[in-house]
């Protein structure tokens, strides 16, 4: 198997191997890493893969993206990652109604889809850092689930210092408690007086300070790190195979804010999976839907919603898709990104917009529809959705009803988190609170400990450097 090399979307880095990309996180030129070529499975290979269990399938999908040394340990890493998930299938698929299904991605330790990538990422980092006898600093931003998944995954990794920035008072109380009950030197969460986009901006500023980046060996666990996205590709294959792929097409509805999860679906399609449509399901912070409707990517202020993990106005991973759609033209990409940085907006022409709309269907689901969909799905299908998953299901139903996707093709909506993580929203819709899984109940008994900091880069940088191991 030929080893894939990596390049930056901004054009100043290329010919990197997987380990370079893993440890660097964000490219030195400010760009995001992508493979220089997309691996693609033949129909024969896909048919051979469709009966594999989740661990074996993960090894098969991830293999082309990593180097020879990691590949030799890959099955062991996948087994270590997914054998501890709390469902025999790892990713169960459940029918809601007719051709509409949900894919449950909340059987990891923090009950959210981020575990499927983060647990694997921690194992890869651990292996590579031990081999290289290195230590690194990871700083990540979270709108809710990434932070708890990262802290849980990395809390025992002695080669990594990890600091998670979250927007103060803007995540659910349970999401916060999952983060703030893990607190020790070199592994903790910081509440920042800003929104998620502000936290994300701080992380990017730290990466753009190349002296600091080099001094502390800074890396990332957000989906800006390409290695975070690769494991997410796996469950698209698994779900599609369960519903008849590769001999049948399948559609997916993906609740998304930062565009990472749905981009993983697009990658699966590039690799040969017969995905017909990808539905980009936004909440009322609908920067993505507005783009797909008009061709204008414009940053507005963030509105707090019932689906806080999607309260985002800067979808970082969209840069990867834009790079692909403009023919991997780094000069053009830099033009768009500069415009967005300076003016908070950029436009693409109608011909370019058509290319995006050939790949994606996009819908907006505001708060009142989230409340309605949780009730509707519970009453009709006896199924309890968390508010983010409700965004995906409502978008899926609307797309099917309006004929924007083919109703004859099975549609899988991604269920991102356990409903117990968002009891207030469930109670608002159904007048009862969901039962907590035992492990979550244990977390809620623990004492919180975290630091609140102003949104000042020097204050945050100073705190991090003084609290590393």
Backbone dihedral angles phi then psi of residue 361, each to the nearest 5 degrees: -110, 135
Going by their DSSP bridges, the two strands 187-192 and 451-453 should be labelled as parallel
Catalytic residues: 114
- Distance of CA 434 to CAs 90, 101, 383, 425, Å? 22, 21, 11, 10
Burial code of 279-317, b = ≥16 C-beta within 10 A, e = fewer? bbbbbbbbbbbbbbeebebebeebeebbbbbbbbbbbbb
Closest CA to 291 of 324, 313, 260: 313
Structure tokens at 389: 């998953």
Backbone dihedral angles phi then psi of residue 310, each to the nearest 5 degrees: -110, 10
Going by their DSSP bridges, the two strands 100-104 and 93-97 should be labelled as antiparallel
Q: What is the C-alpha to C-alpha distance for residues 329 and 63, in angstroms, rounded to an integer?
A: 27
* Four-point Cα dihedral 137, 138, 141, 143, nearest 10: -140
Closest CA to 305 of 345, 261, 364: 364
């Amino acid at each position: 198997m030929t080893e894939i090399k990596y390049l930056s979307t901004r054009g100043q880095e290329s010919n990197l191997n997987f380990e370079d990309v893993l440890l660097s996180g964000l490219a030195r030129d400010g760009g995001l890493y992508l493979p220089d070529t997309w691996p693609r499975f033949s129909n024969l290979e896909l048919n051979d893969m469709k009966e594999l269990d989740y661990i074996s399938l993960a090894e098969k999908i991830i293999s082309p993206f990593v180097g020879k040394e990691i590949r030799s340990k890959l099955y062991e890493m996948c087994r270590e990652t997914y054998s501890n998930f709390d469902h025999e299938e790892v990713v169960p698929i459940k029918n809601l109604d007719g051709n509409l299904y949900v894919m449950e991605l909340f059987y990891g330790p923090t009950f959210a889809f981020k575990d499927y990538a983060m647990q694997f990422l921690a194992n890869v980092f651990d292996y590579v850092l031990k081999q290289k006898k290195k230590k690194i600093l990871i700083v990540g931003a979270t709108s809710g689930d990434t932070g708890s998944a990262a802290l849980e995954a990395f809390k025992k990794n002695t080669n990594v210092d990890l600091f998670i920035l979250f927007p103060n008072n803007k995540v659910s109380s349970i999401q916060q408690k999952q983060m703030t009950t893990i607190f020790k030197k070199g592994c903790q969460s910081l509440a920042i007086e800003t929104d998620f986009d502000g936290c994300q901006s701080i992380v990017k500023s730290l990466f753009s300070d190349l002296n600091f980046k080099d001094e502390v060996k800074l890396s990332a666990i957000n989906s800006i790190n390409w290695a975070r996205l690769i494991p997410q590709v796996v469950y698209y294959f698994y779900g599609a195979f369960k519903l008849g792929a590769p001999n049948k097409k399948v559609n997916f509805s993906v609740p998304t804010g930062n565009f990472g999860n749905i981009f993983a679906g697009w990658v699966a399609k590039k690799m040969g999976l017969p995905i017909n449509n990808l539905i980009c399901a936004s909440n009322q912070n609908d920067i993505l839907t507005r783009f797909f409707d008009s061709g204008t990517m414009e940053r507005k202020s963030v509105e707090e919603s019932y689906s806080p993990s999607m309260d985002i106005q800067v979808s970082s991973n969209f840069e990867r898709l834009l790079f692909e759609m403009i023919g991997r033209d780094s000069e053009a990409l830099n033009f768009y990104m500069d415009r967005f940085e300076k003016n908070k907006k950029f436009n693409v022409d109608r011909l370019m917009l058509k290319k995006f709309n050939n790949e994606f269907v996009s819908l907006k689901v505001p708060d009142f529809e989230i409340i309605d969909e949780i009730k509707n799905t519970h009453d009709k299908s006896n199924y309890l959705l968390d508010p983010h998953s409700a965004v995906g299901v409502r978008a899926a139903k609307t797309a099917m009803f309006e004929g924007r996707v083919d109703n004859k093709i099975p549609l899988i909506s991604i269920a991102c988190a356990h409903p117990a993580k968002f009891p207030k929203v469930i109670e608002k819709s159904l007048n009862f609170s969901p039962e907590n899984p035992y492990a979550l109940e244990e977390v809620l008994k623990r004492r919180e400990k975290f630091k609140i900091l102003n949104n000042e880069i020097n204050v945050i940088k100073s705190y991090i450097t003084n609290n590393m191991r």
